[in-house]
Amino acid sequence: MSKIISAHDLQIDLQGANEAGLFKWLLASFLMGKRIQGQIAANAYQVIVEKHHRDTPHKLASCTHRQLVTMLGEAHYVRYDETTSSRLLALANKVNTEYDGKVSNIVAASADRRAFEKRLSEFEGIGPKTIEIFLREAAAVLFESST
């Protein structure tokens, strides 16, 4: 059993439900939600966000499919590199076009946690595992404070 990788492990700050942290954690959760070793997913996150500075929906959406495939390859995230690259671009574009580039707007558009989970599941490539990983840490800053 591999170690569960947390937002803290990736130096992602979720305090105050800040936008930068929420998007980075969504991106990391997306990568870790696939059937791939956690450390490889974490490496992919670090290559995309720390090495190539694609840490916002706008910056990620400005990548080409080929650039993302190359970044995933750098991290040895090669099993699903083509589909993951396409889905990362779709994720960034959907956050940009439907939610004005902000994960917090997905929350604001949702009546409650269940509605938020439904909205996340409408993103291509986001399934129950990715939602579980994301909310394992983000739920506390997104939903508990509002009750």
H or E stretch including 19?
helix 19-32
Q: Residue 79: its pLDDT value, please?
A: 79
State yes or no: pLDDT of 69 exceeds 80. Answer: yes
- What domain range is 137 assigned to? 15-146
Q: Which residues of 88-98 are buried (b: 16+ CB within 10 A; e: fewer)?
A: bbebbebbbee
Would 3 be classed as within a structural domain? no
Would 4 be classed as within a structural domain? no
Q: Which of 64, 88, 63, 84 lies closest to 73 in space, CA to CA? A: 84
Cα-only R_g, the chain? 14
State yes or no: pLDDT of 147 exceeds 50. Answer: no
Q: Whole-prediction pTM value? A: 0.94
Q: Report the number of distinct structural domains present in the chain.
A: 1
* pLDDT tens, position by position, 105-142: 999 999 999 999 999 999 999 999 999 999 999 999 99
Q: Residue 134: its pLDDT value, please?
A: 97
Q: Residue 3: its pLDDT value, please?
A: 78
* pLDDT tens, position by position, 47-67: 999 999 999 999 999 999 999
Q: Which CATH number goes with the domain that contains 137?
A: 1.10.340.30
State yes or no: pLDDT of 146 exceeds 50. Answer: no
State yes or no: pLDDT of 2 exceeds 70. Answer: no
Would 1 be classed as within a structural domain? no
